[in-house]
Amino acid sequence: MVACTGDRRFELTLTQDRIDELCRTPRCKAPMVNWAIVRCARHLAESDAAELVDQARCWGYARFEDLDRDDPVSFKPGPEADLLVKAAVATGAAEQVIQAFVHACFEDPDLIDEVYDGEVALAMRHALAREELRLHRAAAKETHRIRQEARVCAGCGGDFPFAYVEVPFPARFCSRACAPEPPTTPRTVASP
């Protein structure tokens, strides 16, 4: 049974005494990735950059709760951040999503030395840099995958430049010049 309230839909599994909130993409029956990531993995790329950054920050804070602050290097990466980063590659926001996630999950690098002492600060920087690098690699891999699949630029129809790196514009375009301008809608609703 599917229950609706506003734009949120819930699948009620009555016999199992549990409720899974469904993906926010209309009519999709898959559950959300988790409480912080509000679409299924397949539809995550439909989120705009600001939504992905918000979700990355939210999930980063959740991972911070699990982080052993005395031993940050023991941090185990999960698949959720990778899903957010892959979705962000489609919109050209991978860098912002990675920064939002690692700053929430570990600490803002500008503040690490104020918050932690000596070796713990060092370990925190190391753990942050390692996860950041891992996510940048995931972004580069996804950029490559999208371009292999698309074969030619969605704007000019030309070939993609050969480079195994992430790009600061939607990966299906060959350059920023070919990509449409990102929407600049303000996040807050203007008061009347």
CB neighbour list of residue 158: distance below 8 Å, 6 or more residues apart: 152, 174
Given 10, 30, 31, 121, the residue binding Zn ion (CB under 5 A): 30
Q: Which is nearer to Zn ion, 3 or 156 (CB)?
A: 156
Distance in Å, CB of 105 to Zn ion, minimum = 25
Rounded to 10 degrees, the C-alpha dihedral 62/69/138/99 comes to 70
- In the bound state with Zn ion, the residue whose beta carbon lies nearer, of 83 and 128, is 83
Which of the ranges 20-28, 47-55, 127-135, 161-169 carries the binding residues for Zn ion, by CB under 5 A? 20-28
Does the protein bind Zn ion through residue 152 (CB under 5 A)?
no
How many whole angstroms separate alpha carbon 81 and alpha carbon 67? Answer: 15
Q: Which stretch binds Zn ion (CB under 5 A): 86-94, 96-104, 131-139, 167-175?
A: 167-175
- Please identify which residue in 124, 153, 171, 179 interacts with Zn ion, judged by CB under 5 A: 153
Contact between 174 and Zn ion per CB under 5 A? yes
Does 25 participate in binding Zn ion (rule CB under 5 A)? yes
Q: Per the structure block, which two tokens stand in for 111? A: 């503040």
Cα–Cα distance measured from residue 157 to residue 46, given in angstroms and rounded to the nearest whole number: 23
Shortest CB 151 distance to Zn ion, Å: 12
The alpha carbons of the chain give a radius of gyration, in whole angstroms, of: 19
Measured between alpha carbons, how far is 91 from 1 in angstroms, rounded to an integer? 34
- If one asks whether residue 178 binds Zn ion (CB under 5 A), the answer comes out as yes
34 binds Zn ion (CB under 5 A): no
User: What are the backbone dihedrals phi and psi of residue 21, each rounded to the nearest 5 degrees, phi first?
Assistant: -75, 135
- Tokens found for residue 75: 């941090």
Q: Which residues bind Zn ion (CB under 5 A)?
A: 23, 25, 28, 30, 40, 43, 153, 155-156, 174, 178
